[in-house]
Amino acid sequence: MMILFEYQLGVVCSILKGYYIKSAIMKKIIFFGVMLLISTALLFQSCGTSQNTAEREQLAASIQDAVKVPGFTFKATYAHPSGYKSIYLSPYYDVSISPDTVKAYLPFYGRAYSAPMDPREGGYKFTSTDFEYQASPAGRRGSWQVKIVFNDLDRPVTFHFDVWENGKGRLQVVDVNRQAISFQGDIIIGED
């Protein structure tokens, strides 16, 4: 019986020893495979980042030029009415700014203190040629503040833009006859 037990113990030990060797080899193969995968991913990411950095610098320079000499379009993607939840907008709402004209086509959500006679004039839908344009760098590097005061509308309306170098922007509309509303969106260069 003792011989049979020793034999079985020897078989079990040799099986475990072989399993340990195979397990150690598999661990090394898996370790080196994962390291190869991570280094390949980092290599491709670093190549993409250098290209994206150049593109970001080019975008920042073109946005800065477009803000200094008015020539950009603000495409609104979200509306943030005062006291209401945010609203996702269709891609048709925008404000086009050129040196001599501002075209606005934006919705309005909120409380109006005086309603227009024509119900189709509920939002901000106008073309202005008499306005004051002021652009200045904001507190953070790579951002600008643009203020547009309209002189040819039937009421005082002011647009305050915050423009960032990554192509994003925010618009706050101040209107004496309506609650304040803000919009979030993208800055497009070279589109009327």
Token pair belonging to 32: 């080196």
Token pair belonging to 157: 């309306």
Q: Are residues 176 and 91 in the same domain?
A: yes
- Give the residue-averaged pLDDT of 135-158: 86
- Position 13 scores a pLDDT of 55
- Position 22 scores a pLDDT of 60
Q: Are residues 81 and 156 in the same domain?
A: yes
CATH number at residue 79: 2.40.128.410
Residues ≥6 apart with Cβ < 8 Å to 186? 74, 75, 77, 167, 168, 169
- Position 73 scores a pLDDT of 92
**Residue at a domain's end among 22, 45, 68:** 68
Tokens 């609203």 belong to which residue?
87
Q: Are 169 and 67 in contact (CB under 8 A)?
A: no
Q: Are residues 94 and 57 in the same domain?
A: no
- Position 65 scores a pLDDT of 81
Token pair belonging to 58: 């080019």
Q: What dihedral do alpha carbons 102, 105, 110, 116 form, nearest 10°?
A: 90
Instruction: Report the distance separating Cα 185 and Cα 50, nearest Å.
Output: 26
Q: Are residues 84 and 162 in the same domain?
A: yes
Q: Are residues 52 and 79 in the same domain?
A: no
**Burial per residue of 135-157, b for 16 or more beta-carbon CB atoms within 10 angstroms, e otherwise:** beeeeeeebbebebbbeeeeeeb
Q: Are residues 99 and 7 in the same domain?
A: no
Give the residue from 118, 117, 90, 119 showing the smallest Cα distance to 106. 90
One-letter identity of residue 176: V
Q: Are residues 62 and 74 in the same domain?
A: no
H or E stretch covering 187:
strand 181-189
What's the pLDDT band for 18 if we cut at 50, 70, 90? Answer: low
Q: Are residues 89 and 61 in the same domain?
A: no
Structural domains counted in the chain: 2
pLDDT tens digits, 36-94: 777 776 666 655 555 577 777 877 788 888 888 888 999 999 999 988 899 999 889 99
**Residue at a domain's end among 68, 89, 104:** 68
Q: Are residues 30 and 85 in the same domain?
A: no
Q: Are residues 15 and 54 in the same domain?
A: yes
Instruction: Report the distance separating Cα 191 and Cα 69, nearest Å.
Output: 14
Stronger pLDDT, 141 or 20, i.e. the higher one: 141
Q: Residue 47: which domain range?
A: 1-68
Q: Are residues 129 and 175 in the same domain?
A: yes
**Residue at a domain's end among 68, 89, 114:** 68
- Position 139 scores a pLDDT of 75
- Position 24 scores a pLDDT of 67
Q: Are residues 32 and 121 in the same domain?
A: no
